[in-house]
Every structure is written in structure tokens, then in C-alpha cells.
A and B are shown apart, each in its own frame.
Chain A
């Protein structure tokens, strides 16, 4: 009787433990991204890109956790993820302040953190566990300024930028890049994200006599400036930041309002360019019901590089870190290779709208802008 009870208990325990043990053999990749809060648009794209890549490979499992917008929530999510011993790498959020809070943990647990955050400081702190797969401001703002100067031929830019950390960082890089090209902006102003009416700012900017409007704003404010500028009859070229390339930003505007509007970006999946890119965009539309942007594609490429590392035998921790630091990867958006600091993306594109559709065309590619590869 006793033997029978023991056997039954053992059988139940085995039923519970064995599948868990079997599951533990499949490594888990935590995807910690902000799918709520003010960066949820970008965070959702990041999540979708990771899912597209990771779902296609049965040799790994993944778990998506929302990090919201506070560093504390992100750190808690990371600690929770690291309780599992089968975690060898973490996909970190696009939000720079969260990534900065998570960096010490990555070092403590010796786990690579893969992100698409553009915050420059992340790769300037000497932390060998960070890998950034989206071109930072050091790349995109040089491309931005060069396009304005070399292709638009403008010499008197007016710069409108967001008052957030994102906006100020980009603004500083833009001014630097313009200075290197011998150009001084005729007008500069920061805008709060809650500002709804841009009429006054545009009037002041135009009073300075600019020959181009250069924007470095989030999605909604970018669309507001473009719409209100066109409504005020301002017809000088507008060269915007990467928010303008996002299909959801263009969707807010009429195609006619987009005429003469260009934007920098890491890539533009909806613009096509190769059969693989078109397949990615088509699959993404089917799976998520909306258009992919450069953030989704960058995260997709990053996750695919992790899978490539895994298939090469680098499954996590220091071996994975060394593999990511020492190998190049041919992604859909670009070739990724570390510059020694964890910056993997070094290319940027400029897209422009023709005034007849909301799908932009890639008009200029800048490769290896920062000399990182």
C-alpha cells in the first residue's frame, strides 16, 4: 500500500518535473519591451520584430514582458527573467533610460543585452554586454545633416526638436553635424510632447528665413508640424527624423501634405528594395495587421543574429558576447558588425514622399557613416 502511494507520488512528481526539465533544454529568450506607455508604438514594433524572428526557430522559446516606461519596472522584469537559469541573452527595451538601469545587471549576471535603443550613452560606458542594432544619433544625424546640405542644397536650416532626452540628444548631434559641414542653423526650438498647436513656432521659424525645416520629433508632433506647416502655406522642404518614416505617422497625413517631405531612418521596410524585404513586409502585415517600420526590422535582424550565434554554438553568456562582438551579420536592413563598443548598425537611409502616396522611396543610402565597420 505504502509502496503504491510512493510510486503514485513519484509518478506525479515526474509528471510535473520531467516536462519542465525537458523544457529547460530549450533556451528561453526574454523579450523585455515597452508595449504600454508613451513609447509603446516603438516598443510594439520591437516586440513584433522579435516575435517574427524567434517564432520561426523551434530551437528557442521566448517570453514577452512589458517594461512600461519606468526603469524600475524594466529592472524588475530583467531580475525576474534572470531567475531562470536557461536565460543566456536578453532583448532589452528601446527606451534608453530603462537600458541604462539594466546595464549593471547585465554585467553582474554576464548576460548580453540586445537592444535597438538609440541613446548614445549606452555604448559609451565601457560595458561589454550591450549590443545596439539600430543606428544611433551618431550615425543617423550625420546622414540627416549631409542630406540637407548635399542633396537639398540648404544652407539655412531651422531645427525643431523634442524637449525630451531623445530630442535633445538628436539636436546636439545635428548641430554638430551641421557645424562640420560649415552650416549654422538660423532657428532652433524645442517642443514639449504635449504641445498641440505649432502655428506660433512655425511662424517664428519662418521669420528667420530658413531654406529647409529640419525636424527631430516623435511621431505625433512630426505629423502635426508637417500638417500645420502645409496649412500655413510653408512649402520649403522638410527633412524629418526617423519618426516620419513610420507608416503610422504618414497615415495621419494626406499624401499631398507629404510632398517635399523626407526623413532619415535606419531602413524603410515598406519601401521594398529586395524580394527578402518585400517578403518580410508581407509576412509582417499578415501576422500583425499593420505596416512594419525600421524598429521592427532592426529587432528582427537582431534576433536573427542571436539565432545565427546559437547555431554557431554561442548560446549565451560570454561565448555569445564574444560571438556578437567578433562576427558580422548580413541582415535585411544592413550588415551588422560591432565597432568594439557594441554599436552594430552603421548605415542610414533617407526616404522621401512623392505627394501621391504614403509609401516613401529610398533616395539615399549612407553606409558605414561612423566608420564603425
Chain B
């Protein structure tokens, strides 16, 4: 029963991390560079949910569309500030701009909301249910369901729509996509919006059960980075699998070992995977690492 409880918690946590990792990969594929502000966008989404809950005391699921839309707008702002002016520069310049922007977001949240951790409302209701004898938080099950729906939505968007095809074409080869008449600049901007929306959703999902503080962004970006390296640089499916692995180390592996040892084992697993499969579990989709 205990193992089942741990597994459900781990998968729910992994599902939320997967949203962050998915946003990370989408931006990486579109720009060829890492958006280091991605973790801070998760905290921004969490705090947005906290602020909205103060104005509209409704369950989190009703706040989710507002958070997603608002975060998409913030994603456009992030792209305008940190990518657009530097779009013809080497990817390393976006590193710096997104790190700087992440610090601005972090300190902005600190200034507006204060430094203390906050809790967003639960997606539906709080409390627990029994699943095959294991006591499981309703929020964990809700996180799992909502994250699965969002990931499936992104999969459909990218795979089944014309917009998705244009986004993928831009991510694969911006020069060719441009030659084919695709407005690649707009596609990259949209990718930032989509990535920020996913991060914002992750922030809302995590901010109830696990709270949210302005300084949490660093932890999220590290987990997303590990997930993407494990899964294969630029692989969407790999990032999701990597995110799940990170979360399972935090829960299942930590059930047998000290938390610190479990973290050490996660990094050891990362090194082992890179030694055996240098391009990650599913191979690299993005040739250059930035």
C-alpha cells in the first residue's frame, strides 16, 4: 500500500515536472538555446494563482484557464525582451538574457508578494481518498489528470494542426521554414507563449500541495534540465520520461535511501546514462547544446 501511495505521489509530481520540461524543450527546439527563466515562470504561475485566488475564491481548476492565458502573455513578453533583440546572436547570449530575466522575475515576485511561501487553492477539493487501500491526496490525482490533459493537448497541437506543423518546421530548421513562407519569428514567439503557459500551469498545480516561494525557480530549472539531458537533448518524449524519472527518484528511491543519497543516486544515474548513451535515453533532437 505504501509503495502504491509513493508511486501515485511520484507520478503526480513527475507529471507537473513534465510540464516544465516540456516547455523547456519546446523553447530549446525553437531557439536552439536554453531559457533559464523557465523555472521562474513556474513560480510566476504559482503566484498568479495565489493572487487570483485572493480575488476569486474558486477552485484552482477554474483559475487554470486564466493562469494559462496570462502566462502565455508573459511568455510573449519574455520572448520580446530576452530573445527577439538577440535572435541573430549566438545562443549563449540568450542564456544570459534569460538568466537576467529570471532574476528580475524572482525579485519582482519577492517585492510584490513577499518572501514567504504561499499556497494556491486545490484544483478541486482538498482531502484524501483511498485507492486500493492507499491513502492518496485528491490534489495528487487531480495534478495527474490535468497534466495528462495538457500534455495530450500539446501533443495534438503539435501533431495534428497546421499551427503545430509550422511550429515544428520552425523548430527543425528556421531557415528552411522561412524559405517556405512561415513567419518563423512569430512561431518562436508563440513557442515562448506555449512554454510559459505550460510552466504557469505547473506552478498552479504544484503551489497547493507543495507551496511556492519566489526562490523556487532555481530548483525547477535544475530538474527540467536534468530531465531533458536524461531524455535526450531536444526530445519531447524524452523530456517527459526524464521528468518522471526525476520525480520517482524523489519519492520511490528516497523510500529506501536517505533523501540526500537519493539525490546523489539521481546524479549518478544521469552520469551512467550519459556514459552509456551520451545523447540521452532517446537520442538528441537538437544538434548543438546551448
Q: Which residues of A contact B (CB under 8 A)?
A: 35-38, 40-41, 43-44, 163, 189-197, 199-201, 203-204, 219-220, 223-224, 231-233, 246, 248-249, 251-252, 290
Contacts of A246 in B (CB 8 A): 116
Is B93 interfacial (CB 8 A cutoff)? Answer: no
Whether B211 contacts A44 by the Cβ 8 Å rule is no
One of B2, B107, B115, B250 near A44 (C-beta < 8 A): B115
Q: How far is the CA of A283 from the CA of B214 in the complex (A)?
A: 27
| In the complex, B90 has a CB within 8 A of chain A | no
In the assembled complex, the CB of A208 is this many whole angstroms from the nearest CB of chain B, namely: 13
- Known contacts A231-B137, A252-B119; A200/B215 CB under 8 A: no
Give the CA-CA distance A195 to B253 in the complex, in Å.
13
What's the minimum C-beta distance from A193 to chain B, rounded to whole angstroms? 8
- Cα A41 to Cα B6 in complex, Å, equals 31
Q: Are A200 and B251 in contact (CB under 8 A)?
A: yes
Known: A44-B115, A192-B260. A199 touches B5 (CB 8 A): yes
Apart from A199-B9, A252-B117: 15 A-B pairs, beta carbons within 8 A:
A36-B110, A37-B215, A41-B213, A43-B115, A191-B260, A194-B216, A194-B222, A194-B223, A197-B10, A197-B210, A219-B117, A223-B117, A223-B211, A246-B116, A248-B116
List, sorted by A's number, 21 A–B pairs whose CB atoms are closer than 8 Å. Answer: A35-B110, A40-B215, A41-B114, A41-B115, A41-B213, A163-B259, A192-B259, A192-B263, A196-B13, A196-B206, A197-B9, A197-B250, A197-B254, A199-B5, A200-B6, A200-B250, A200-B252, A220-B117, A220-B213, A223-B117, A246-B116
Within 8 A of A (CB), among B100-136: 106-107, 110, 114-119, 128, 135
Task: Report A370 CB to chain B, min CB distance, Å.
Answer: 30
Complex CA gap A318/B250 in Å reads 52
Whether A44 pairs with B114 at a CB distance below 8 angstroms is yes
The yes or no answer to B258 lying at the interface (CB within 8 A) is: yes
- Determine whether the beta carbon of A41 is less than 8 Å from that of B116: yes
Known: A196-B206, A196-B250, A219-B116. A201 touches B137 (CB 8 A): no
The docked-state distance in angstroms from the alpha carbon of A231 to that of B127 is: 8
Beyond A195-B250, A197-B9, A252-B117, whether A203 also contacts B210 by CB under 8 A is: no
- Known interface pairs A189-B259, A197-B13; A290-B114 also in contact (CB < 8 Å): yes
Closest B residue to A36 by beta carbon equals: B107
A residues less than 8 Å from B116 (CB atoms): 41, 219, 246, 248-249, 251
Contacts of B128 in A (CB 8 A): 231
Chain B, interface SS category: helix
Nearest residue, chain B, Cβ from A41: B115
Query: Across the interface, do A200 and B255 meet the contact criterion of CB distance under 8 Å?
Result: yes
| Cβ-closest chain A residue relative to B136 | A231
A366 CB, min distance to chain B CBs, angstroms:
27
**Which of B110, B211, B252 lies in contact with A40, CB distance below 8 A?**
B110
Q: Within 8 Å CB of B214, what residues of A?
A: 40
In Å, the complex CA distance between A32 and B210 comes to 31
A203 to B256, CA, bound (A): 10
B114 touches A224 (CB 8 A): no
- Render B185-218 as a binary contact track against A, CB cut-off 8 A, 1 for contact: 0000000000000000000001000110111101
A201 vs B194: C-alpha distance when bound (angstroms): 35
Closest-CB distance, A275 to chain B (whole angstroms)? 28
With both chains docked as a complex, state the minimum distance between the C-beta of B12 and any C-beta of chain A, in angstroms. 9
Q: Which residues of B44-75 are within 8 A (CB) of A?
A: none
| B residues less than 8 Å from A223 (CB atoms) | 117, 211
* Residue B153 is within 8 A (CB to CB) of chain A in the complex: no
Nearest B residue to A232 by beta-carbon distance?
Answer: B135
Asked if B159 CB lies within 8 Å of chain A CBs, one says no
Cβ distance A173 to chain B, nearest Cβ, rounded Å: 19
Task: Identify which of A44, A197, A252 gathers the most chain B CB atoms within 10 Å of its CB.
Answer: A197
The answer to whether A196 touches B210, judged by C-beta atoms less than 8 angstroms apart, is yes
| Nearest chain B CB to A182 CB, angstrom units | 26
CB distance from B120 to the nearest CB of A (A): 11
Chain B residues whose C-beta falls within 8 Å of the C-beta of A36 in the assembled complex = 106-107, 110
Q: A163-B260, A197-B13, A197-B251 are in contact. Are A203 and B6 (CB under 8 A)?
A: yes
In the complex, are the beta carbons of A199 and B117 less than 8 A apart? Answer: no
B85 close to A (CB within 8 Å): no
Across the interface, name the chain A residue whose C-beta is closest to B128: A231
Q: A199 to B249: give the CA distance in the assembly, Å.
A: 12
Q: Contacts of A38 on B, CB cut-off 8 Å?
A: 215
B211 CB contacts on chain A under 8 angstroms: 220, 223-224, 252
CB distance from B124 to the nearest CB of A (A): 16
Check if B219 is an interface residue, CB within 8 A of chain A. Answer: yes
Residues of B within 8 A of A37 (CB): 215
**Residues 223-242 of chain B: 1 if any A CB is under 8 Å from the residue's CB, otherwise 0?**
10000000000000000000
A199 vs B262: C-alpha distance when bound (angstroms): 14
Measured between beta carbons, the chain A residues less than 8 angstroms from B119 are: 252
Which of B114, B135, B222, B254 is packed against the most chain A CB atoms within 10 Å? B254
B115, B119, B216, B252 — most chain A CB neighbours (10 Å) = B115
